[in-house]
Amino acid sequence: MNYQENDKHEDNSFEEEEKHPIKTPSTESDQQTLYNVSRYDDNKPEKPKPFRYFKLVLIGALLGGAISSAITYYYLPEIMALRGVRNFEGQSIVIEPQQDLTVYSAVARKAMPSVVGITTVALERDAFFGTQRRSTGLGTGVIVDERGYILTNSHVVGDGNVEEIIVILYDGEKVPAKVVWNERSLDLAVIKVEAIGLPVAELGDSDNLEVGEIAIAIGNPLGLNFERTLTQGVISGLNRVIPLEGEETIENLIQTDASINPGNSGGPLLNGQGQVIGINTAKIRTGEGLGFAIPINTAKPIVDQIIEQGEFTRVYIGIRGVNIDVFERATGTSLQADNGVYIAEVLADSPAEAADLRTGDVIIKIQGIEVRAMGSLQRELYRYRPGDEVTVTILRNGREENVQIVFN
């Protein structure tokens, strides 16, 4: 569309003319000058216009305000000092928002190619009729090795009980996958596709997270129509515990208010550098902005061993244990501990027997990290490899003791 500018002109036809004697041109030059200027009597003094006075006043006010602001800014520290205003440490932090204006698009550009969609087909038995039916599932994963290893949730792949897994790559290609490893208590799984040269996500460090840091989730919420949706928020909390089925819990979770919905499961939670700091796992349905992710440092040793050896083997400690609260309810006794694992049996020729662990001991820490229940004990064991030596803190006869265990 072409726009035509209207020439601005002033029509003085409604102004009352002032009476001045009209000068008669005495020469040809004077006559030419008179007729070329205007058909109106422009020899009279121009009448001032109110709007021009308004503009002058407005410009003066703006300049005065700017000068006043500059003076105030320049002398602000002295003014604050005179009034007794304290300069808190937080006020010295310089925030440069212009650097964050593109952080989300930059993270998306960096991480999006390594995010995949995952669809599954499983056979389920109808509890009432006893017949089998095919059910489909949807989730997300993140590529952790260019040879096709993908990290996701255990529940995304049916805890390993699925007939078919299809991975949808960034370019839209669909390739079959198989489960290499999964652990329900961690809600983690590694699957593999036959491919090479895939884009790999950069893994971050979840041990050094702080509440308030940027958190960005990428996944496939509510179906592939919304694939690779990016949502943003912050780290809302750390070391959260949420219940699973029965008396099981999943612990040490990252809480975020970045929107997480069905289909986001298994997708990455990223920091402002585009590094994976967690694997999205759950959302509290009764509340808004309550999403949870498994810290990436929980998965790192598992991923590393699978990439190196093609499989993962958890270290062996050699006990049969039970949660303290379960033991106390069953026996009616108090073990003088709020959390921990009661050793019901020490297996022969095991690392536990070699370390002189005994029936009745209560494991409360490994390497200084609290062991709340059997689930957290199992999760801690995933950090180590055969041959690693660790310090295990136990309660024995009401007293704390440290023992050294070398894992097989």
pLDDT digits (tens, 9 = 90+) for 268-291: 999 999 999 999 997 766 667 788
pLDDT exceeds cutoff 50 at 237: yes
Per-state percent for the chain, helix, strand, coil, to nearest 5: 25, 30, 40
pLDDT of 286: 63
Token duo for residue 126: 């109808």
Q: Is the pLDDT of residue 84 over 50?
A: no
The larger pLDDT score, comparing residue 63 to residue 278, is at: 278
Distance CA 43, CA 33 (A): 11
Beta strand segments in 184-271, E: 188-193, 214-219, 229-243, 249-256, 268-270
What integer pLDDT is reported at residue 398 of this predicted model? Answer: 85
Based on the residue annotation, tell me whether 187 is a catalytic residue of this protein. yes
**Do residues 118 and 156 make contact, with C-beta atoms less than 8 angstroms apart?**
yes
Which residue in 114, 154, 265, 376 is the catalytic one? 265
User: What are the residue boundaries of the structural domains of the chain, listed by start?
Assistant: 115-193, 206-309, 319-406
Instruction: Give the CA count within 13 Å in the CB-facing half-sphere of 159.
Output: 5
Given 114, 154, 155, 376, the catalytic residue = 155
155 is a catalytic site residue: yes
Q: What is the pLDDT of residue 28?
A: 42
Q: First vs last Cα of the chain: how many Å apart?
A: 78
Concatenating the DSSP letter of every residue in 179-203 gives EEEEETTTTEEEEEES-SS---PPB
Over residues 285-295, the pLDDT tens digits come to: 666 778 899 99
When pLDDT is averaged across residues 44-73 and rounded to a whole number, the result is 51
Average pLDDT, the chain: 78
pLDDT at 2 over 90: no
What confidence tens digit (pLDDT) does each residue in 349-404 have? 999 999 999 999 999 999 998 888 887 888 888 888 888 999 999 999 889 999 99
Query: d(Cα 370, Cα 339) in Å, to the nearest integer?
Result: 8
Where does 319-406 sit in CATH, by number?
2.30.42.10
Rounded to 5°, angle at Cα 291 from 286 and 292: 125
Asked whether this chain's domains 115-193 and 206-309 adopt the same fold, the reply is yes
Question: In the prediction, which pLDDT does 59 show?
Answer: 59
pLDDT at res. 275: 94
Q: Check residue 180 and give its pLDDT.
A: 95
pLDDT one-digit tens code per residue, 304-347: 999 988 888 888 899 999 988 888 888 888 888 888 999 999 99
Token pair 């039916």 is at which residue?
Answer: 133
The CATH class given to the 115-193 domain equals mainly beta
Q: Is 265 a catalytic residue?
A: yes
Looking at per-residue pLDDT, the higher value among 49 and 4 belongs to 49
- Entry field: residues in the chain: 408
Beta partners for 362? 342, 395
* pLDDT value at residue 27: 42
- State residue 352's pLDDT score: 94
DSSP 17-53: PPP-PPPPP-SHHHHHHHHHH-SS-TTSPPPP-HHHH
CA of residue 295 relative to chain centroid, distance: 11
Q: What is the mean pLDDT of residues 116-139?
A: 83
The pLDDT of residue 29 is above 90: no
Q: Evaluate if residue 266 carries a pLDDT over 90.
A: yes
Per-residue pLDDT tens for 199-236?
Answer: 999 999 999 899 999 999 998 876 666 678 899 999 99
Give the β-pairing of 188-193 and 214-219.
Answer: unpaired
User: Where does 206-309 sit in CATH, by number?
Assistant: 2.40.10.10
pLDDT number for residue 123 = 80
The catalytic position among 185, 187, 236, 259 is 187
CB atoms within 10 A of CB 255: 20
Give the residue with greater pLDDT, 403 vs 244.
403
Of 17-26, 205-214, 237-246, 315-324, the range with the lowest mean pLDDT is 17-26
Q: Quick one: which of 239, 209, 188, 249 has its CA closest to 377?
A: 249
Q: Residue 58 — very low, low, confident or very high, per pLDDT cuts 50/70/90? A: low
